Chain A
Amino acid sequence: MPRWAERFFPANVAHSVYILEDSIVDPKNRTMTTFTWNINHARLMVVEERCVYRVNPENSNWTEVKREAWVSSSLFGVSRAVQEFGLARFKSNVTKSTKGFEYVLAKMQGEAPSKTLVETAKEATEKAKETALAATEKAKDLASKAATKKKQYV
């Protein structure tokens, strides 16, 4: 959690986050799906990630992974900042973990880590930007709806 947020969420400071990962392995169809999410600090923010691993349809020697993530927060107002922080942190973590992933793969296959990581990271950044934008728009929309509701009760 960034320092500025600690003041707003004192109960969350210094509590470890617990994460669950569920997975399904389908050896018949040769796919694996993992779903990972945090099971505490959920009132503050929830990050969910789904990865689907399958045989690349164009090259059966390749495994491809599709990674999707959702960052959400139920507290509106401050949460927009929390959501964007979460997304930014996720993006940087994804780059690190993808680097680690590719490094291990390269070592296993006895080759030097390739340059394709840069392209992958670029695509992920674009998708993440789009998702953050959508989240911001949705937050704005819901906030203005909430403001409208308040007026009706005055």
Chain B
Amino acid sequence: MNSVGEACTELKREYDQCFNRWFAEKFLKGESGGDPCGQLFKRYQLCVQKAIKEKDIPIEGLEFMGASKAKTENSS
């Protein structure tokens, strides 16, 4: 899948490769320590943040897992 910023797709690919390897071989096996992909992530993130500004994508006030809304069976 491409990055939201076309210029960032290659950086995304590199980061994804690193992440997927760490995820399958370390995290899921119970070793959550270490941060082998931190640098790759920072580079990719900078690129994406630039693309988001350029495309005017509204990212203010967003919460993790849409946290501001409590989602229950009875919500409308």
Contact = CB atoms under 8 A, between A and B. Distances in A.
A87 B59 CA distance: 25
Nearest to B59: A39
A50 B71 contact: yes
Given A50-B71, A70-B71, A39 B27 contact: no
Interface string B6-41: 000000000000000000000110100000000000
Interface of B: 4, 27-28, 30, 57-59, 62, 64-66, 69, 71, 75-76
Given A27-B28, A39-B59, A48-B71, 6 more contacts: A18-B57, A27-B27, A35-B65, A40-B57, A42-B58, A48-B66
Nearest to B27: A27
Looking at chain A's contact residues, the main secondary structure is strand
Interface of A: 18, 20, 22, 24-25, 27, 33, 35, 37, 39-40, 42, 48, 50, 68, 70, 72, 134-135, 138
A22 B57 contact: no
Nearest to B63: A22
A16 B59 CA distance: 15
Contacts of B62: 20, 39
Contacts of A72: 76
